[in-house]
Amino acid sequence: MKKPAIVSLFLFVLALSACSSFVQPASTAVPTSTLTATLAPTATLAPTNTPLPPTETPEGRPASEWNDIPIMPGAIAGEGDEESYVFTIKATPQQIQEYYQLELGKLGWQPFAGSNGDSSMLVFMNNASETLTISIIAKGDEALVLLVK
């Protein structure tokens, strides 16, 4: 083979080797971003000031009805205003519930919701979409009854 052919072949191989790499590049670590969560303070719920029925026994002679709602016979004491009426009676919560379900049913009030126990609440609605809430709180052998219309 002639020298120019060998030189040409050598240059061709050299050019070819320059275009391709026989050595694998080393893998390098690529930095990744890391997110750090920071907890922000959360809002705390403040207690609501829901009015509770009075815990003292009402004074005064009980009425026979309040805002066209009968007061259970046997009430010991009672008092109220345009918004609510509270009375004390020697009866169980169950007896009070039964009385009001029967008597209010006669007046067109329908039970809407209720709960049972020593402290219970009944909700009634009438045809005019008015609501009446009756809260009953047992207190010894007596019960406090709060009517809210």
111 in a structural domain: yes
Q: How confident is the model at residue 114 (pLDDT cuts 50, 70, 90)?
A: confident
Give me the pLDDT at residue 62, please.
Answer: 85
In a domain, 47, yes or no: no
The total of structural domains in the chain comes to 1
Is residue 4 situated within a structural domain? no
| 32 inside domain | no
The percent of residues in the chain predicted with pLDDT above 70, rounded, is: 58
Give the tens place of pLDDT for each residue, 87-112. 999 999 999 999 999 999 999 999 88
Residues contacting residue 76 through CB under 8 Å, at least 6 positions apart: 57, 62, 87, 88, 89, 90, 142
Does the structure show a pLDDT above 80 at 134?
A: yes
Q: What average pLDDT does this structure show over 19-25?
A: 49
- 76 is in which domain, residue-wise? 65-148
Q: Per-residue pLDDT for 117 more than 60?
A: yes
Asked if residue 58 is part of any domain, the answer here is no
* Residue 120, domain member (yes or no): yes
Three-state DSSP string of 112-132:
EEECCCCEEEEEEECCCCCEE
**Strands, E assignment, the chain:** 65-66, 69-70, 75-80, 84-89, 110-114, 119-125, 131-139, 142-148
Any domain includes 117: yes
Residue 96 forms part of a structural domain? yes
pLDDT score recorded for residue 46 = 54
Q: Is 38 helix (H, G, I), strand (E, B) or coil?
A: coil
Q: What is the pLDDT of residues 33-66, one digit of tens each?
A: 555 555 555 555 555 555 554 456 667 888 899 9
